[in-house]
Amino acid sequence: MDNIRSYKPMVSSVSQVQVLLIGAVGAGKSSFFNSINSVFRGHVTSQAIAGSSTTSLTTQFRTYSVKSGREGKPLPIILCDTMGLEESTGAGLDIDDISCILKGHLPDRYQFNPSAPLQSEASSYRKCPRLKDKIHCVAYVMDACKISIMATKVQEKLDAIRRKVNLMGIPQLVLLTKVDEACPLVMKDVRNVYQSGYIKEMMQEASGQLGVPLSCIVPVKNYSEELELDTNTDILLLSAIIQMLRFADNYFDEISDKFSNIETKE
């Protein structure tokens, strides 16, 4: 927690790292934010709308800043929540909206319209986003119980998004959620997560499906039905945030290198 509180982005114009959460409906994007918020509040809390539904409960683009304690300072990370990916065309998150989000054009509380992506003429469109408005890391949120049965259409949408993210040079990782529901060994004790052969298989499957290295897959357990915090659950959640900050550092490194190359050429 101290490492996260004291983290400072490597670029002076950015005070908070922006991490975009992308995943199928019900994968646990909003629950992840609520869980991180709970760890730093010191008790289980729920701010983002989360629950089980066949269609996305998140209908707006939301940027959530986590505070350290009830009246504490905002942490140096913002979690950006999107509509869930859905099977049918014209439902869930639109692939074209992803580009706008990555480039920093979408404002907080932008209302998604699955049948029509955001137009640059819209009044809420941020025409000249700065580095602090852009996405610095993308986290794909995947339900460990559903990786093997992921719908083809959702897989295709994820592939299309991954290609866009790759082109922009934004680091990517995978949050593997619901590891306790997927494996009885982890249900018994969350500390068994890295000893579970089944969870390792799911991590390998996620790695194959998204084309990211195994080292970029972070298993987590969100708070969903618990009333009290659990240290071992917190450790997994905080490890995920630390990975996000490290990945964002890589992004800022790349940007610094680009700028120094341009200056050298000039």
User: Per residue of the chain (266 residues), what is the pLDDT tens digit?
Assistant: 999 999 999 899 999 999 999 988 888 988 999 999 999 999 998 765 544 444 444 567 788 888 888 778 899 999 998 877 766 555 556 677 788 889 998 776 666 565 555 555 565 677 888 999 999 999 999 999 999 888 888 888 888 889 999 999 999 999 999 999 999 999 999 999 999 999 999 999 999 988 899 999 999 999 988 889 999 999 999 999 999 999 999 999 988 766 554 433 43
Q: Are strands 17-23 and 137-143 parallel, antiparallel or unpaired?
A: parallel
CA distances, 216 to each of 31, 149, 193 (Å):
20, 21, 16
Taken in order of first residue, the domains within the chain and their CATH numbers are 2-259 (3.40.50.300)
Which H or E element spans position 17? strand 17-23
Task: Please check whether residue 127 is in contact with residue 12, taking contact to mean a CB–CB distance below 8 angstroms.
Answer: no
What pTM was computed for the model?
Answer: 0.87
Q: What is the pLDDT of residue 5?
A: 94
